[in-house]
Structure 1
């Protein structure tokens, strides 16, 4: 089968055994380095995708995707919920009331955000019911002032179901200071653990108890919280709903409360990706050294090809093909091993933990107890494309240098 001269000789040079074994060693290390760089980048970005997925599931499964709240307490929350549910992006709408305060127990205190919920409807918008480790969410009864605490808060206060603690909330008054503390005894009826910082900053009470603590009328709520099909559309969806309801309502969404966290995670992924790209670049540019030594080693062969009629472009193509074969093979092997490793990294870490008897991720220290991984094929395609492009760019200078060799000069001492 006919093949162009550059491809035929370039692939033959790649397969041929060289007289200079050091050149073969450098060529092999370039290929291995490129493969390891691609492998490392795929695995690390997959692990970061896994962390982002876990944090999104845990945190955004607890906090509202979006909220529609009244400028004043709502006497009837159902019209706002019905208006929200008319939007096809909204999956559920339930009432809520939020307040900030301090928890006190046996002289210890900590700030906390209290969320008044309807236990019967909360499962439509939150994952908290699936993460109760003590008690039950349905034990929140109106008028009993029960509270469901996060596991970190419960551990800090050393409380369990049945213990009682004090909630202190600020109240505007005509006193000289303008604010007076109001205290309410709460009974711990449940403890949840979602594996995020919300375990130490969030408490749940019944929405009717929240209204009573705010000195509102029975049945009044702050607003409705929404669950959306695509949480990244929350700002637009909330704005559309409020525009239809009028000026008596306002909107908020998760990007205001948790957006900085996910922006930081996205930036971290980008920066780590760029740093790992440097590993691929170093391995790719090792091809330059390999090809320069090959050019010096094959100077006589190049001169003979030139005397037989090979053009500078054909000579240049020979070494571009040779360097590209190294890059393609290294990228291909690294990509395959990277995909396999990314798909099995959680199993591999578990095997290492069992073998060593040590836990790399303990639930007492970290929010997760395993190493998550989520392979995204666009990331794999981008990494492999970067490896191929860098490998190709690394061949240009040595190949150009080979094309400039003059036959008479190369054969002078032959």
Structure 2
């Protein structure tokens, strides 16, 4: 009876030091494919490829979603104010005082009065709906993203009552160039003795802008302030004052300070109220995509577990011999844990490299695919942006790596535990 106890492993406490060189040697020896174990090795390779694809896909998708969010916000907030001041129930004719007061508030970068309305832009060749925005020319060139992204024209001509700056895509749809005339027709007409006559203004295109966002490049017209006030018949009033902040994410404190500086009678709203749905939609989509794509790693981890279980069954005789030679259950468990986790670690590392490489060159790869397929895979009319953005967030990459490694380790514990529970007597009896 005493001789059988060491063999069965019930009382022997011997074994190697945890994760010693012997355990690593045994683990990699078991991972090498033999004729009888070829199928097991194929499953392990499939698991490695699955984890690589899962990790790489997660990093790429998270980076693209981050890029979309940053590009959308930078363009939306670059063309629109972070905070808008309006006056309810009266004409906003003290806008210069409001703008000067707002500029003196801490955290405010700029304050620009605007006149905004809808119009139909027509040329000799075509017509298109547009948002018409009247701005002070100096403020437009200095503070507005469109004024800083002029691709054609002379901004020194942007003044008076007959000048206009339009998006390059709108110019393309109207088939006009710098120097051509565009006719703007307002929705509200002028009442006369013969009925309502459409109110219109003919302007000359003095500049084209390209901010890289389809919605704005194809639908915005900027006029000097006096031209917009004449067109919309606002007199000396404006629609509102747009305020740009140093920190767009902290609008609550800025709105409180601006409201205190201006006093009662003004209504303040921030960009979240106008465009917050974009941020919310992107955040929800990013979270859902993370959960869905994590399932790829889960499936690969299940493959690792199944391959390790099959390996344990195939190596039962070898495990029994190791046990009779003095290997402890802990040693056997660590050997098979190293087998499974090695696949996960290597797959995660390869996925990390592939994901970073793909994310950092994704727009170049997209252009190559467009050239090969002869089509536009990333149409600006659909995705609003003219290029495929990607921004790698190191915190998110670390989270993806940790999730992949955690899943791998968790799904490796069970087969390693089964290997440690192999009874040498039973394993050798039926060999």
Is TM (by shorter chain) over 0.5?
yes
Q: 1:186 maps to what in 2? A: 202
Distance 1:336 1:366 in 2: 27
Most deviating of 291-300 and 224-233: 224-233
For the 8 Å contact 2:51–2:404, the answer to whether it is kept is: yes
Distance 2:276 2:266 in 1: 22
1:86-124 deviations in Å (ceiling 9; x for gaps): 333221112212223444556965443221101111133
Q: Secondary structure at the match of 1:231?
A: coil
Most deviating of 291-300 and 268-277: 268-277
Distance 1:112 1:358, change over 3 A: closer
Distance 1:394 1:297 in 2: 19
Please tell me the root mean square deviation across aligned C-alpha atoms, in Å: 3.2
Most deviating of 102-111 and 326-335: 102-111
Distance 1:363 1:395, change over 3 A: closer
For the 8 Å contact 2:40–2:307, the answer to whether it is kept is: yes
Q: 1:76 maps to what in 2? A: 94
State yes or no: 1:407 paired with 2:424.
Answer: yes
1:174-228 deviations in Å (ceiling 9; x for gaps): x9x9xx775022313233332321123322111122233443444x333321122
For the 8 Å contact 2:27–2:336, the answer to whether it is kept is: no
Distance 1:92 1:182 in 2: 36
Equivalent residue in structure 2 for 1:233, among 250, 268, 284:
250
Q: 1:118 maps to what in 2? A: 136
Using the TM superposition, give the Cα deviation of residue 15 of structure 1 relative to its aligned residue in structure 2, in angstroms: 1.6
Distance 2:376 2:167 in 1: 24
Q: Secondary structure at the match of 2:142?
A: coil
TM-score if structure 1 supplies the norm length? Answer: 0.86
Instruction: Could you tell me which runs of 5 or more consecutive residues in structure 1 were left unpaired when the two chains were aligned.
Output: none
Distance 1:3 1:202, change over 3 A: farther
Using the TM superposition, give the Cα deviation of residue 68 of structure 1 relative to its aligned residue in structure 2, in angstroms: 1.7
Q: Secondary structure at the match of 1:232?
A: coil
Distance 1:213 1:207 in 2: 10
Q: 1:253 maps to what in 2? A: 270
State yes or no: 1:206 paired with 2:224.
Answer: yes
Pairwise mapping of residues 54-203 of structure 1 onto structure 2 (< 5 A)? 54-71=71-88, 72-104=90-122, 110-142=128-160, 144-160=161-177, 161-170=179-188, 183-189=199-205, 190-196=207-213, 197-203=215-221
Distance 1:295 1:336 in 2: 31
For the 8 Å contact 1:46–1:374, the answer to whether it is kept is: yes
Equivalent residue in structure 1 for 2:27, among 7, 14, 34:
14
Distance 1:184 1:78, change over 3 A: same
Distance 1:282 1:181 in 2: 68
Most deviating of 390-399 and 275-284: 275-284
Using the TM superposition, give the Cα deviation of residue 53 of structure 1 relative to its aligned residue in structure 2, in angstroms: 2.8
Distance 1:30 1:164, change over 3 A: closer
TM-score if structure 2 supplies the norm length? Answer: 0.83
Q: 1:371 maps to what in 2? A: 388
Distance 1:233 1:385 in 2: 31
Distance 1:107 1:134, change over 3 A: closer
Distance 1:74 1:183, change over 3 A: same
For the 8 Å contact 1:64–1:125, the answer to whether it is kept is: no
Q: 2:301 maps to what in 1? A: 284
Q: Secondary structure at the match of 1:183?
A: strand
Q: Secondary structure at the match of 2:268?
A: strand
Using the TM superposition, give the Cα deviation of residue 395 of structure 1 relative to its aligned residue in structure 2, in angstroms: 0.7
Q: How many residues align?
A: 408
Q: Secondary structure at the match of 2:101?
A: helix
